[in-house]
Amino acid sequence: MDNHNQLFFNQYFDLIAEKIRQIDLELIHKTIQMIKALETTNNKIILAGNGGSAAMASHVSVDFTKVAGIRAINFNEADLITCFANDYGYEKIFEKAIDFYGDNGDLLILISSSGNSANVINAAQRAKQKKMGIITFTGFDKDNLLKKEGDVNFWVDSKAYNIVEMTHHVWLLSFVDNIVGKIEYPAN
């Protein structure tokens, strides 16, 4: 590998590691308490986001369900998205999904790099009305709109999508692994 590429990747991975370590440990503690509380209430986690955040929501919801034993769902089915977008408008797809699938006491995890996606903000506002817990994952501007809606708010100090999304992904999967109680474990 030439020196330019080696320098790029060293700096890139150092930056990601730095962002991952900037997580607030008090927020982690509160989040884990909120998640573990679901085990006794029979409530579920709902995850939502757009684009890469939607892919992340799918991955994390499966891991919460299969690996950590906590029911989790997301709204990434093409038929659901296109139906709700057609009938209610794209800005209301997650809000309407929460109307149909959200229950009082559920935990909503919203992922938005910008923190300004109307459909994600509308979901948070509907979740408040339904008395659901709300955890947000954002980046870009510290004073983004979604952060104002959450009970717990994780923010990455970066304006680069991949840095923000990779940091969110590591943080979310660390919660799954904490619930499991192991750092490494084999696939089952």
Query: What is the per-residue pLDDT for 56?
Result: 98
Whether 188 is in a domain gets the answer: no
Question: Per DSSP, which regions of the chain are E strands?
Answer: 45-49, 72-74, 107-112, 133-138, 152-155
Whether 187 is in a domain gets the answer: no
CA atoms 39, 178, 136, 23: torsion sign: positive
Query: What is the domain extent for residue 46?
Result: 3-180
Sequence-ordered list of residues with C-beta below 8 angstroms from that of 169, at least 6 positions apart, any chain: 56, 59, 60
Query: What is the per-residue pLDDT for 70?
Result: 96
Average pLDDT over residues 130-135: 98
Q: Are 82 and 54 in contact (CB under 8 A)?
A: no
Average pLDDT over residues 45-49: 98
CA atoms 135, 164, 159, 98: torsion sign: negative
Query: What is the per-residue pLDDT for 183?
Result: 78
Q: Tell me the C-alpha distance between 144 and 178, whole Å.
A: 28
- Residue 50's nearest CA partner among 165, 157, 142 is 165
Whether 185 is in a domain gets the answer: no
> Is the pLDDT reported for residue 58 higher than 80?
yes
Whether 110 is in a domain gets the answer: yes
Specify the DSSP element, H or E, that contains 117. Answer: none
Whether 104 is in a domain gets the answer: yes
Whether 137 is in a domain gets the answer: yes
Query: What is the per-residue pLDDT for 188?
Result: 63
Whether 156 is in a domain gets the answer: yes
Provide, for the chain, the percentages of residues in helix, strand and coil under a 3-state DSSP scheme, each rounded to the nearest 5.
60, 15, 30
Whichever domain contains 125, its CATH number is: 3.40.50.10490
Average pLDDT over residues 181-187: 79
The tokens of 73 are what?
């769902």
> Is the pLDDT reported for residue 27 higher than 80?
yes
Instruction: Give the three-class secondary structure for 152.
Output: strand
Query: What is the per-residue pLDDT for 142?
Result: 96
Q: Tell me the C-alpha distance between 72 and 108, whole Å.
A: 10
Total number of domains in the chain: 1
Q: Tell me the C-alpha distance between 42 and 103, whole Å.
A: 11
**Per-residue model confidence as pLDDT tens digits over 77-113:** 999 999 999 999 999 999 999 999 999 999 999 999 9
Whether 186 is in a domain gets the answer: no
